[in-house]
Structure 1
Amino acid sequence: MAENSTPLLSVDKLTLAINSTGKRVVNDVSFSVSPGEMVGIVGESGSGKTLAARAIMGFIPPAVRRISGAIRFEGHDVMTMAPKALREMRGARVGMVFQEPMTSLNPSMLIGQQLDEGLALHRRLSAAERKALILDMLRRIGIRDPEGALTSYPHQFSGGMRQRIMLASVMLLKPALLLADEPTTALDAVVQREVLELMVDLTKANNTAVLMISHDLGMIARYCSRIIVMQQGDVVEQGLAQDLLARPQHPYTRKLLAAMPLRGPVRDLPKADTPIVSVRDLTVDYGGRQGFFRKEAPKRALHGVSIDVQPGEVVAVVGGSGSGKTTLGGAIAGLVKPSGGEIRFNGKPIDRSETAYWDYRLNCQMVFQDPYSSLDPRMTIGDLVGEPLRLVPGMARAEKARRVQEVLTEVGLAEGFASRYPHELSGGQRQRIAIARAVVRRPSFVIADEPVSALDVTVRAQVLELFAELQRKHGFSCLFISHDLGVVEQVADRVIVMHEGRIVEEGSRDAIFDNPRHDYTRKLLSAVPGLESTGDGGVRLFWRLSDGAGEAART
């Protein structure tokens, strides 16, 4: 980027407010993007980053109005453009990749139709020419059968492939500016890097500028040359990515960096003769789909998995989507029926017809990925947290109420929360309730399935610290399932790596992160940047492995 180049996009003192209340949700925001430049906007939910980006395309919701400011793209004020000019700009000159492709791809339209739609609208090409461009783009994004993809529907592809297709639909038109709103939030580490590298390649080929919106500072720092930090509608800091990470000036930026997961010290756990949970040769088969004239063979999700969890230990299970880690957690929790193998609790086999199974189910609790769907919206918080105590024999009602209040205090939600309902709480508060519900019976074993994947950076840090404090206080063992390797590095004592339903590597956290031996483990670690504290409030970004091989490469 030339130092004095004319900005492709210039946002000047933009202020947006809610019509009904007058509250400012974007306040005096100014920034610019030059041709071919990649700029990142970071901030927590409610910071105004997505609303500011959508305003660039004229997508301000009806409930929001512009108070002041201007948005100029290629010298034209977007806020005063005629509807026809806006339609010509959208897609052709400015493209947008949304957070969840399943909601932005039409589920009732074939992939070929959706990719053709923009080309037919904005390019004067024949049907044959458009098809040739689409097939070439599908090959470039890694679709194995481009011709077959044209006649497929979005639900027939994985999340990573859907995001690739969404990116292809935007880049087919070769826009001058790409707006990427949380483009990889729901993807595992390997797929995330593949999608981002693809985006970089496609945009570089066309000299497309990118405005990337995310709450993941590490990912933004890896791919963007400049970073803009937003808090509650204000731009609090912006600058070169490397300088901003190393020497943050604003307290909020320092808070975001301090909330990013970092490796803690190795815990000294007491030796135990018998694991709290022992799994041997566990297999799980899912029945194949049946039709009028055919029946698919069952799909094996777990292939003879064996693990041990020691008392007080936190064992993390990592792997890509479809690796079987959630199926493993569900089978251990009794939510998925195994096809074979054995589960032991405190050395005793678990049989659904035996008393031992009842004891195990009471002592094994689960924290789910999405607390909103796992908490009954018709029950109050007090009833939700207290529900597991109904099965405790001999516990008086007053004692149950005291226990509920005690655990709500432990998770930081004591004052007046017992009478509220789940919809009245934020995402972080709902996750605290899900944890409170899991620990209220004082279980000896907790399974946490992606418990912080949907949370902002600072809220995630608070929930992780809460979880660690409860684990230290009550001493329960934990199977921690996650695709976020930064979180795993912070919380785990031991790490199990799964791939295609099998354990490919396991060992202590430091052994796995510092000296991975299996190719898939190395691939996972090479996909995620590491963070080191600089000791003065900043962090330094580095890659643990260079292209999946060699020693840690710090940059």
Structure 2
Amino acid sequence: MTTKAFSSEVGTGSREENASNKAAAPLLDVAHLTLKIGASGRSVVNDVSFQVFPGEIVGIVGESGSGKTLAARAVMGFIPPAVRLTGGAIRFEGQDVMAMSGKDLRAMRGSRVGMVFQEPMTSLNPSMLIGRQLDEGLELHRKLDAAGRKALILDMLRRVGLRDPEGALDSYPHQFSGGMRQRIMLASVMLLKPALLLADEPTTALDAVVQRDVMELMVDLTQANDTAVLLISHDLGMVARYCSRIVVMCQGDVVEQGSAEDILARPQHPYTRKLLAAMPQRLPARFLPQDQTPIVAVRDLIVDYPGRQGFFRKSAPKRALHGISIDVQPGEVVAVVGGSGSGKTTLGQSIAGLVKPSGGEILFNGKPIAKSDTAYWDYRLNCQMVFQDPYSSLDPRMTIGQLVGEPLRLVEAMSGTQKKARVAEVLAEVGLKDGFADRYPHELSGGQRQRVAIARAIVRRPSFVIADEPVSALDVTVRAQVLELFDDLQKKHGFSCLFISHDLGVVEQVADRVIVMHEGRIVEEGPRDDIFDNPQHDYTKKLLSAVPGLESTGDGGVRLFWRLGEGEAPASA
């Protein structure tokens, strides 16, 4: 593996020196915080203590359910009604947050403490124009006239990288990409120049380049205003890059905290070691014969989306795929990477028959497929898809057994007893035994739902599986479990896979071959090791240089490295 390590730079991206040396008193002091569920009395945050000093970036990491988001929301007084404070205190700028009146809390929120939520599409009002949403906080907390507020908003939108700030004011959230929505959310918070920024998974589901841009933007804005940041994330590489200190939480407890360099290089608690060990690692390359007939071949695939219909005219159609051609060999895992809007998901959905191509053809086992041909149904039955969000792709009214068994309805050769046995067998393969068949999707965790989605995809024993961002929203340990499961099933059943992902660490672990897409075109493809170690195209270099990774040091710790040297991506990229 060709990497450029910089373990001495861990945590230096946030500040040149530890900010705790700059101030005697902490900006935020959380002491022995304990939160419990009212009805059950179960502790969800247990005796948690940490501090944030002015100007520093502190990261909170841990698995889903560790209590990190709830502890951060308590800082703003955003505790759900079912949760009650049973001990401890939160002091911000010397004031007891829990003793504040409603009026004082409203004055603090936004003005002194801001929060960037995990999913901007749900935190931005879909029925309000962007300009009105950005104006709300200024109107409430700043004594400025309308013209003054608009000038500040336009200036901030320019700073966060929007090309047309004036046009953005009259647009709605759905008209922007995920990365642009996150920039707008960051702009709305930073307009008020808060002393403390709470960032809850601010880059989840963003591609590598956009993730880097959003984080660098956040750091630049907070440095300009000397704003402290409490960064909540399961992305250990990002936390290591930007945070000076790290707090590790497990099931409501703080199990370890300290400088980023110490936590990563010399973890003391077994749970911290478990988190670090779960980071994706490159496995030895597999040898697969390349002289076979491809299981799936795509030739000159074109996809056009129709233009938007207006009152007086219709906009021109948008071409999402420009003549894509790929081959997937039997038993091969081909990863497709690229930025948001590059056409990765459109390619997968087109191959799965969910999007109608405008041109080109798809071949299965060397034969063209068409709806009038029996080969089409053979292909559709042998091509299955694992979607990015299993919660929205699984019918909430059906039990897990019904969901997994649904693809077997068209298998006439199997009896009802055989189908039931196959469902039980597959659920056992994905680690869901002991009554899971009778549960509903809402009764399962995110990782368990993803296991159901995988079970549903392989229950027919297909020869080709499309996995669209199957682990993007999972924390590190669950992600490692799902990837290990996927690898075991792929080796056991021998299906080929088109693996769509923006997580380069995951791709580095699972892929045999990598295809790099940019603006609807393939810009580079080749064996995984060639793409990662010797990229040729400028855009591939830009992707690889965007986000650092973590690699094991062999003694329980990890070190931060760049797949390419930081800043080595060509300026033209």
Both proteins in one fold, TM over 0.5: yes
Instruction: Give the equivalent residue in structure 1 for 2:525.
Output: 506
Structure 1 residue aligned with 2:213:
194
- Report the counterpart of residue 165 of structure 2 in structure 1: 146
* Counterparts of 2:292 and 2:121, CA distance in 1: 48
Higher mean C-alpha deviation, range 99-108 or range 213-222: 99-108
Structure 1 residues 428 and 550: alpha-carbon distance in aligned structure 2, compared to 1, 3 A threshold: closer
Compute the displacement of 1:550 (Å): 6.9
Quick check: 167-176 or 394-403, which moved more? 394-403
Instruction: Determine helix, strand or coil for the equivalent of 1:5.
Output: coil
Letter in 2 for 1:446: V
Rounded Cα–Cα distance in structure 2 between residues aligned with 1:103 and 1:419: 31
Q: 2:454 aligns with which of 421, 426, 435?
A: 435
What corresponds to 2:5 in structure 1?
Answer: none
The equivalent residue for 1:222 is: 241
Cα–Cα, structure 1 residues 352 and 130, in superposed 2: closer, same or farther, change >3 Å?
Answer: same
Q: 1:363 to 1:131 in 2, by over 3 A?
A: same
Amino acid across the alignment from 1:329: G
- Post-superposition Cα deviations, 1:452-502, rounded to whole Å, max 9, x if no partner, equal 112121111111100000000111100001111111111000000111110
**Which residue of the partner structure matches residue 78 of structure 1?**
97
Q: Which residue of 2 aligns with 1:366?
A: 385
1:6-155 matched pairs, under 5 angstroms: 6-155=25-174
* Aligned with residue 275 of structure 1, among 290, 294, 309: 294
1:489 — aligned with what?
A: 508
Matches of 1:220 and 1:461, distance apart in 2 = 18
Equivalent pair of 1:314/1:479 in contact (CA under 8 Å): yes
Q: Are the counterparts in 1 of residues 55 and 226 from structure 2 also a CA contact under 8 Å?
A: yes
Equivalences for residues 103-502 of structure 1 within 5 A: 103-502=122-521
Aligned equivalents of 1:59, 1:418: Cα separation in 2: 36
Distance 1:383 1:62 in 2: 35
TM-score by length of 2: 0.94
Tell which deviates more after alignment, 121-130 or 348-357.
Answer: 121-130
CA distance in 2 between counterparts of 1:389 and 1:84 reads 58
- Cα deviation, residue 396, structure 1: 2.3
Task: Write out per-residue CA displacement over residues 425-459 of structure 1, whole angstroms, 9 at most, x where no aligned residue.
Answer: 22111111111111111111111111111212111
What whole-Å deviation, never above 9, does each CA across 1:354-406 have from its counterpart, x for those lacking one?
11111111111111111122222222222222222222232222222222221
One-letter amino acid matched to 2:329: Q
Matching residue's letter, 1:141: V
Q: One-letter code of the match for 1:372?
A: Y
| Structure 2 unaligned blocks of 5 or more | 1-18
Q: Is the 8 Å Cα contact of residues 538 and 569 (structure 2) preserved in structure 1?
A: no
**How far is 1:420 from its partner?**
2.0
- Does the Cα contact within 8 Å between 1:522 and 1:548 map onto a contact in 2? no
Shift of 1:2: 4.8
Read off the aligned partner of 1:204 and give its amino acid letter.
Answer: Q
Q: 2-side partners of 1:113 and 1:399: how far apart? A: 59
Residues 478 and 548 of structure 1: CA distance in aligned 2, closer, same or farther (over 3 Å): farther
Aligned counterparts of 1:312 and 1:479: Cα–Cα separation in 2: 11
Alignment-mate amino acid for residue 428 of structure 1: G
Shift of the 84–396 alpha-carbon distance from structure 1 to 2, 3 Å rule, reads: closer
Cα separation, 2, equivalents of 1:107 and 1:443: 40
3-state SS of 1:342 partner: strand
1:517 aligns with 2:536: yes
Instruction: Quote how far apart the aligned CAs of 1:100 are.
Output: 1.2
Shift in alpha-carbon separation, 1:124–1:291, aligned structure 2, 3 A: closer
Q: Deviations over 1:90-143 (max 9, x none)?
A: 111111111111222222222222222212222222322222221111111111
- 1:408 maps to a residue whose letter is L
Instruction: Say whether the 8 Å CA contact 2:338–2:516 is kept in structure 1.
Output: yes
- The answer to whether the Cα contact below 8 Å between 1:445 and 1:477 also exists between their aligned partners in 2 is yes
Q: Which amino acid aligns with 1:159?
A: G
> Matched residues in 1 for 2:569 and 2:324: separation?
29
Distance 1:108 1:418, change over 3 A: closer
Preserved CA contact (<8 Å) 2:301 2:360: yes
SS at match of 1:263: coil
Residue aligned with 1:65, SS: strand
User: Which range moves more in the overlay, 335-344 or 287-296?
Assistant: 287-296
Q: Deviations over 1:257-297 (max 9, x none)?
A: 11111111111223442111111100011111223311122
The one of 528, 544, 553 equivalent to 2:547 is 528
Partner Cα separation in structure 2 for residue 103 and residue 225 of structure 1 = 30
Separation (CA, whole Å) in 2 of partners of 1:57 and 1:545: 39
Amino acid aligned to 2:443: E
Unpaired stretches in structure 1, ≥5 consecutive residues: none
3-state SS of 2:409 partner = helix
Which amino acid in the other structure matches residue 534 of structure 2? N
Q: Which is further off, 210-219 or 411-420? A: 411-420
Deviates more, 1:284-293 or 1:327-336: 284-293
CA distance in 2, matches of 1:191, 1:80: 40
Aligned to 2:562: 543
Is the CA contact 2:320–2:520 (under 8 Å) kept in the aligned structure 1? yes
Q: Distance in 1 between matches of 2:165 and 2:393?
A: 38
Q: For residue 542 of structure 2, what is the amino acid of its counterpart?
A: K
> How many pairs align?
551
Higher mean Cα deviation, 148-157 or 341-350?
A: 148-157
Compare 538-547 and 303-312 and name the one that shifted more.
Answer: 538-547
RMSD in angstroms over aligned alpha carbons? 1.4
Distance 1:309 1:155 in 2: 35
Using the alignment, how far apart are the partners of 1:8 and 1:378 within structure 2? Answer: 47
> For each residue in 1:298-344, what CA deviation from the matched residue of structure 2 results, as whole angstroms up to 9, or x when unmatched?
21111000000011100000111111111111111111111111111
AA matched with 2:88: G
Contact 2:68–2:252 under 8 Å retained in 1: yes
> What CA distance in whole angstroms lies between the structure 2 residues aligned with 1:453 and 1:494?
20
| Deviation at residue 414 of structure 1 after TM alignment | 2.3
Q: Separation in 2 of the partners of 1:437 and 1:150?
A: 44
Distance of 1:122 and 1:477 partners within structure 2: 56
- Mark the CA change 1:2 to 1:21 in structure 2 (over 3 Å): closer, same or farther: closer
SS at match of 1:44: coil
Instruction: Using the TM superposition, name which of 156-165 and 27-36 deviates more.
Output: 156-165
> What is the distance in 1 between the residues matched to 2:64 and 2:352?
32
